[in-house]
Every structure is written in structure tokens, then in C-alpha cells.
Amino acid sequence: MSRTLYRNFWIEYDPPPIPDRNHDWRWAHEDYDGPGDRRCGTSASLEAARAEIDEWYLENLERDIAEEFEPEADSE
């Protein structure tokens, strides 16, 4: 099994015993906590896995930045 670290995500080649090759590469964040943690997935290739991780970072980074700069609601 081949395994590599990319942007704090482990990516490994682990093809399941099915004819569908879209899930041959599994990836999960170093701090992945199991079911319910959305920092994981499967991809058809190493390049696709890296692209999906990049997309994950963009979506989550944008959300985190937006939340950081949202004005706080008045407490009055």
C-alpha cells in the first residue's frame, strides 16, 4: 500500500475489491476523528485526491475567514 502526506492529509492507494476504480485512493486528515468528521474521502487517482483536498481547504478556509470577519450581533 502506497501512502503519502499532502497538506496534512494522508493519501493512500488501497483499491477495494470492486470493479469501480473511482475509490482506489483514500484520504483523511491527520487529525481525522472517524464518522461525522468530513475531513476524508475517496478518489480515482492521486491527482484527483490532491484536487479534492485543495477544494476542501478552499471551502473551509473561505468559511473560517468569513466567520472571523462577521460583525458580532448587538447584545442590546
SS3 (DSSP) at 13: strand
User: Tens-of-pLDDT digits for all 76 residues of the chain?
Assistant: 679 999 999 999 999 998 889 999 999 999 999 999 999 999 999 999 999 999 999 988 766 655 555 555 555 5
Range list of β-strands (E), 1-76: 3-6, 9-13, 25-29, 40-43
State how far the Cα of 57 lies from the Cα of 39, in Å rounded to an integer.
10
pLDDT on residue 13: 95
**Residues in contact with 51: Cβ distance below 8 Å, sequence separation at least 6, in sequence order:** 43
Q: Which residues pair with 25 in a beta bridge?
A: 13, 43
State how far the Cα of 49 lies from the Cα of 16, in Å rounded to an integer.
16
